[in-house]
Amino acid sequence: MHRSGATMAWNVFKFCTALRALGSIMILLVLGVVGVTYYAVVLNTYGPALYAGGFDFLVAFVVLILFHSLLVMLLWSYFAAVFTDPGSVPPNWRPAIDEEIGEANPLVGSDLNNDVPSDSSHQRIRYCRKCNQVKPPRCHHCSLCGRCVLKMDHHCVWVVNCVGALNYKYFLLFLFYTFLETTLVTASLLPLFLAFFSDGEIPGSPGSLATTFLAFVLDLAFALSVLGFLIMHISLVASNTTTIEAYEKKTTPKWPYDLGRRKNFEQVFGMDKRYWFIPAYSEEDIRRMPALQGLDYPSKPDFNSQ
């Protein structure tokens, strides 16, 4: 599951990289797909069906309520991912590495501290030559943004932004709501799509039929590709790994940040259940969970002794 998901998403990742030159046009593309879908579902199909009465009214009512609710959540998550800074390194940031090694390994004498074991890669001091600064753990330099990004996952053109510590949750919610919305649209336009291939009379102008056809194909394509991406990110969140780290991990099998599914999930979505499905964090979570600020990540207590 993890492997096939990673392969699928790697293709999407490469696709994103190939499209990077398009820049902000991607926002217009996303809004264009939303517009075509809105026309097909609301204005052309289920809006008029509200006047039909009876069972058709009931179906149209439910579809329209779901469609608009998901659309609000999708756009809210999308623009949160677009406009939230993924996290940059504070000026003069320094790791508290000496105390950490001293406290975590009381049996190791101070004369051995220079010889840090190679498998504790998270404790190695990393330096970015382009930014001329020390890198916090899990931080990576993004060549597109031209700066170091905290817990960088990947740079994706769909949100015209890096996905990192402070907007990863918003990006995941965008994927989640996009999958639900496009699946709803595909299912609700399926009867019309099938009618194209039947002999029966189909109501509507050629233009509106073409738009409905286009919306069905677009939303089906998005539902399928987002599903692959979503499955991969669910397995990444469950193992507390970023997309970049998933490729680095091939050489370092031990993973210090994996604290179990529940804690790994909370490090991305927060501990407050009321905030899990909206692109925001409670102030208390930001205060009590250093991982949400992107500079300090708890690791397995037994990791140093292994």
For position 218 contacting Zn ion by CB under 5 A, the verdict is: no
The DSSP call for residue 158 is G
Site for Zn ion in 51-70 (CB under 5 A): none
Q: Which is nearer to Zn ion, 155 or 233 (CB)?
A: 155
Is 145 noted as a catalytic residue in this protein?
Answer: no
* Residue closest to 228 by CA, chosen among 189, 268, 182: 182
**Is residue 155 close enough to count as binding Zn ion by CB under 5 A?**
yes
Number of residues that bind Zn ion (CB under 5 A): 10
Q: DSSP of 79-131, one letter per residue?
A: HHHHHS----PPTT----HHHHHHHH-TTS-GGGTTS--TT-GGGS-EEETTT
Residues whose CB is less than 8 angstroms from the CB of residue 148 and which lie 6 or more positions away in sequence, other chains included: 88, 89, 128, 131, 133, 135, 139, 140, 141, 142
> Binding string to Zn ion for residues 110 to 149, with x set by CB under 5 A, is what?
------------------x-xx---------xx-xx--x-
The DSSP 8-state label assigned to residue 52 in this structure reads: S
**Smallest separation (angstroms) from Zn ion to the CB of 163:** 8
Could you say which of 16, 139, 156, 162 is catalytic?
A: 156
- The answer to whether the CB of 278 falls within 8 A of the CB of 173 is yes
Q: How far is the CB of 146 from Zn ion (least distance, A)?
A: 8
Residue entry with tokens 């680095």:
248
Q: Tell me the C-alpha distance between 302 and 63, whole Å.
A: 51
Rank residues 10 and 275 by Cβ distance to Zn ion and give the closer one.
Answer: 10
CA trace torsion 101, 103, 109, 115 (10° rounding): -10
Binding segment toward Zn ion, per CB under 5 A, in 160-168, 230-238, 284-292, 294-302: 160-168
* Part in contact with Zn ion (CB under 5 A); list of ranges 73-81, 99-107, 159-167, 190-198: 159-167
Q: Are 148 and 141 in contact (CB under 8 A)?
A: yes
* Residue closer to Zn ion, measured from CB, 161 or 212: 161
- How is residue 197 written in tokens? 């291939």
Q: What is each CA distance from 85 to 81, 159, 196, in whole angstroms? A: 8, 12, 46
Task: Work out whether 162 is an interface residue with Zn ion (CB under 5 A).
Answer: yes
- Judged by CB under 5 A, does residue 189 bind Zn ion? no
CB of 145 to Zn ion, least distance (A): 3
Is 156 a residue that touches Zn ion (CB under 5 A)? no
Buried b (16+ CB within 10 A) or exposed e, 114-138: eebeeebebbeebeeeeeebbbbbb
Shortest Å, Cβ 155 to Zn ion? 3
Decide whether 2 or 147 has the Cβ nearer to Zn ion: 147
The residue among 104 and 128 lying less far from Zn ion, judged by its C-beta, is: 128
Q: Which is nearer to Zn ion, 130 or 261 (CB)?
A: 130
Active site residues: 156
List residues binding Zn ion (CB under 5 A). 128, 130-131, 141-142, 144-145, 148, 155, 162
